[in-house]
Chain A
Amino acid sequence: MKPLRLLRRNFEHGVHPAHHKEQTEDLAIQRVPFGKHYVMPLGQHIGVPARAVVTEGQRLQRGQLIAEPGGFVSTALHSPVTGTVTRIGDFRGVDGRFAPAIGIEADPFATQEVDPVPPMNWQALALDEFISAVQQAGIVGMGGAAFPSHVKLSVPEGITIEKLLINGAECEPFLTNDHRLMVERPEALLEGAEIMRRKLGAEEIVIGIEKNKPDAIEIVSRHIGDGQPVRVAPLDVKYPQGAEKMMIRSVFGVEVPAGQLPRDVGVNVNNVGTIVAVADYFLRGLPLIERVVTVAGPGVTYPANLIVPLGTPVRDVLQFCGGLKPGTREIIMGGPMMGRPVASLDVPVLKGCSGLLVFTEEQTSRRTEYPCIRCGRCVEACPYFLNPSRLARLSKARLYDEMKDYHVFDCVECGCCTFACPSNIPIVQLIRTAKDDLSHRKEPEE
C-alpha cells in the first residue's frame, strides 16, 4: 500500500475554497506613501519580544536598529521611517490587547532614504555568523507565522539539510503578495535562494508554486540559469498546500513524523517573501523594514498589492486603497482561513501581515449552528487525518485530557474542518480552547 500511495504527488484530504484572487493577481506591486505615525510592536514575531535600544525623543534614520533580539528565539527591529521616537510603551495590538511597542513620528521633510548596512561578503561568513546576521536583519517567516528565520537555520549536529524548499503555494484565498513577488522579482528570489542553499549546504532548491499561478511558474522557470540546482514544482490547487508539512508531502512524497520538524527529513522550508528579504539584506544591505501586503476583499474600494513600511496603521493603508465600502464588518490580517481579525483601524501592519482583507455581511453573518450529524466531512477534510468531529464533541464536554488520545496537539489549526462543516460548528475554535487549556495546565508541573 505505502509505495503506491507515495506515488501520488499530492497530499491527501484538504479542501477547495474558491481562490478569489482575480481582484489583485494582475496588479503590480506599488508603494504606499509615507504617513505620519508608526508603531513597531516589540513582540511581532513568535518567541521572546525584542528589547528597545532607543529612547523617547531620539532621532531615527530609516533602517536604523531600534530594538535588539531579546533572546535566541527573537529578532531585531529597525525603524521603518526617518523620524522621532514619540513614546515607548503600551500600544493597542492587532487582537485589541495592549502590548509594548515603539511609537515613531515620521519627519515630513525627510527623503526617507534607507541608510543601508555596508554590503556584506556573505560568502565569507561562517554559518553561525550568517545565522546571527539573519537575526540582526530582523527576518522572520513572512507567510504569516512570523517565526524568526535564523532559528530554522540553526540545525543541530547530526542533521544535514539536503533540500531547500521555497514555499510559493500561497494557498490562502485572496492573497497575491507572494504571487506578485515571484512575477516581479524572480532574480531576487533566486539570489536569496542561492545564498540560503550555499549556507545550509543543501544540494537542491525546489520552488513549490500552485498551478493557479501559471505566470509565476513560467517567469521563475525562465530565470533559472543553466546548470543551477533549482527546479520549480507546480502543485495542485488545494488548501492547505502551503502548510510546510503538506508541501513536503506533495513535493518529496515524504511525511514529516508527528512532533518533528521538516529538518528531520532533511528539508528547510521558507516562504517566498522571506527569501527575497534575505537577498535584500545580504546583497543590498536592507533590513526588514517593509513588506508586500495584499489589500483585497469585498469591502475594499481599490484592491491592491502594496509595499507597506512596517508599523503603518491599517487605517493609512486602507485609506490609500480608497477607503472602506459601506457595510464593512470585519478586517482580517493574513488570509481568510488562518488570519487574525483586526481589533481597530489603528493597529499597525506587522512583519507577518501578508494581507489586509476587508469582509462584509456575506462572510460574517451569524451562521446558525446545528448539532453535529457526524457526516464525516471534517474527517475527509483534515490533512492531518485527525477526527475533528470527535475533538469538537470532547471539547464541548470539556474532556480536554481525552483529546490528547485523539492527538489534539497534531492539529495545526488550518481550518479545513470548520470550512467543511455543514453544521457551522466552530471546530477550530473548540480545538484551540482545549489546546490553550491543556498547555496552561502543564506549566505548574514543570
Chain B
Amino acid sequence: MSNKDPKLLLFHAPLLRQDMTTPKAMRDVIYALLPATGAALWYFGISAALVIAVSIAGAVLAEWLFAPRATRGASLKDSTGILTGLLLALTLPPGLPLWMAFLGGFVSIAFGKVIWGGLGHNLFNPALVGRAFLLATFPIAMTTWVPALPESFFDVYPSNLALPFMQVQVDAVSSATPLGMFKFQQEVTPLFELAFGKIGGSLGETSGVLLLLGGIYLWLRRDLDWRIPVSILLTVMIFSACLNLFNAERFPDPLFSVFSGGLLLGAIYMATDPVSSPITPKGAWIFGIGVGVLVMLIRVFGGLPEGVMYAILLMNAATPLIDRYTQPRVFGRDKESS
C-alpha cells in the first residue's frame, strides 16, 4: 500500500451494470435496418440513398438546432436522430422530391420529439409524426410510386430533383403497391415477390424477409419487446384469415396481409419504439392487438390501401392509459390491492 491513502469514492451500490446502454440499443436498431436499407439501394438505386441521406440530414439538423446549448453535441451521440431519419426515409416513396424528405426528417424531430421535451418524453413515434405530416401536406407526392429496378444504379428518378414548392412532375411510368393493386384492381402479388422485394412501394417495404431478419437480431439482443410484433402480426393474420374464409375474392390471405405494405416495418421497428409503447408486458399485448385490429379496419373498410401508420399513431395515444391500467401485480399482493 502506498503511504498515502487513495481518495475513496462513495458511489452507491449497485456498482455493477449490464453492458447495454441506451445509445447502443439505438445503434442496434440502425444495424438491424441495414439489410433492408441495402435492399432499398438494390431496388431503387441512387435515389434511395439520396432520400435516406436527406431525411437523416433533416432529422439531425433539427436535433442539433433545438437542443439546449449546453447539451448540443450530446443529444447527437445517442444516435436517435439518425435512427428517426432512417426510419422515416424507409417509409417514403423512392421518387419523393428530396426537399420533402428533408422537411419530413426535420418535422419528425422538431414536432415528434423536441417539443415534447426530448428523448423519452414523446407520446408519438417521431418518424411516423414526420410521415403523417408529409402525407397530409403532399398527398400526391406521397402516394406516387415508381417501379423498382431503374435501368442503372445511378439513374435518379426525375421527381426526386423537383424544386421546392414547384408542381411535382408525375412520372410517366408509375406503378402501384401490392396493397393498392389488390384494393383497387383485385390483383394479387405473388408471395415470393412480396417476401424478397421486387415490388413497388416505399423504400423499406420491399423485402419482408430482410425486415424479419433484423427483427430477430433485435430480439436476440433483447432490444425489443417481442410481444408487440408478435401480437400485431398474429392479430392481422387471424383477422384476415377470417375475412379470407368469408370471401376469398375480396379479402387477401393472411400471408399477403403480413408481407404487403408497411406492416412488417411498422410492427417490428415502429410500434416497438419503447418510448411510445406500453412498458408493462400485458400492456404490450393490448397495444399490439389494438394496432393489428386498426390496421385491418383501415385496410378493409377505410379509403386508403394502407393503415399501419395511423394504427400505430392511434395506439401511441392510448399508451399512457394502457400503462395505467396494466400495472403488474406486485409480489405478495393480490390483483386488487396492487
Contact with A along B1-34 (1 / 0, CB 8 A): 1100110111111111110111111000000000
With A373-B22, A385-B328 in contact, do A428 and B12 touch (Cβ < 8 Å)? yes
B330 in contact (CB, < 8 A):
yes
Stretch with Cβ within 8 A of A (4 or more), from B115-123, B170-178, B244-252, B294-302: B115-123
B332, A330: Cβ atoms under 8 Å? no
CB of A257 to closest CB in B, whole Å: 5
A370, B78: Cβ atoms under 8 Å? yes
CB of A83 to closest CB in B, whole Å: 24
B333 in contact (CB, < 8 A):
yes
Q: Which of A328, A359, A370 has a CB less than 8 Å from the CB of B23?
A: A370
CA distance A332 to B21 in the complex (A): 24
Contact with B along A402-434 (1 / 0, CB 8 A): 000011001000010011111110101100000
Q: Which of B23, B25, B279, B332 has a CB less than 8 Å from the CB of A256?
A: B332
B21, A415: Cβ atoms under 8 Å? no
B13, A258: Cβ atoms under 8 Å? no
A46 in contact (CB, < 8 A):
no
Inter-chain contact count A-B, CB under 8 Å? Answer: 165
B274 in contact (CB, < 8 A):
yes
B331 in contact (CB, < 8 A):
yes
B279, A387: Cβ atoms under 8 Å? yes
Interface residues of B, dominant DSSP: loop
A384, B14: Cβ atoms under 8 Å? no
On chain B, the residues within 8 Å of A364 by CB distance are 9, 11, 15
A154 in contact (CB, < 8 A):
no
B137 in contact (CB, < 8 A):
no
B1, A319: Cβ atoms under 8 Å? yes
Stretch with Cβ within 8 A of B (4 or more), from A60-68, A206-214, A277-285, A338-346: A338-346
B225 in contact (CB, < 8 A):
yes
Interface residues of A, dominant DSSP: loop
B338 in contact (CB, < 8 A):
yes
CA distance A129 to B299 in the complex (A): 78
B327 in contact (CB, < 8 A):
yes
A330, B327: Cβ atoms under 8 Å? no
On chain B, the residues within 8 Å of A177 by CB distance are none
A407, B9: Cβ atoms under 8 Å? no
A156 in contact (CB, < 8 A):
no
On chain A, the residues within 8 Å of B5 by CB distance are 344-345
Contact with A along B23-48 (1 / 0, CB 8 A): 11100000000000000000000000
CB of B71 to closest CB in A, whole Å: 11
Q: Which of A324, A341, A420 has a CB less than 8 Å from the CB of B6?
A: A324
Q: Which of A328, A387, A415 has a CB less than 8 Å from the CB of B328?
A: A387
CA distance A199 to B62 in the complex (A): 71
Residue of B nearest to A257 (CB): B332
Can you list 15 residue pairs at the A/B interface with Cβ under 8 Å? A173-B16, A257-B332, A260-B332, A329-B8, A338-B14, A340-B13, A373-B275, A375-B274, A379-B281, A379-B328, A384-B332, A386-B330, A419-B18, A421-B17, A428-B14
Spell out B's residues near A (CB within 8 Å).
Answer: 1-2, 5-6, 8-18, 20-25, 74, 78, 118-121, 222, 225, 274-275, 277, 279-281, 327-333, 337-338
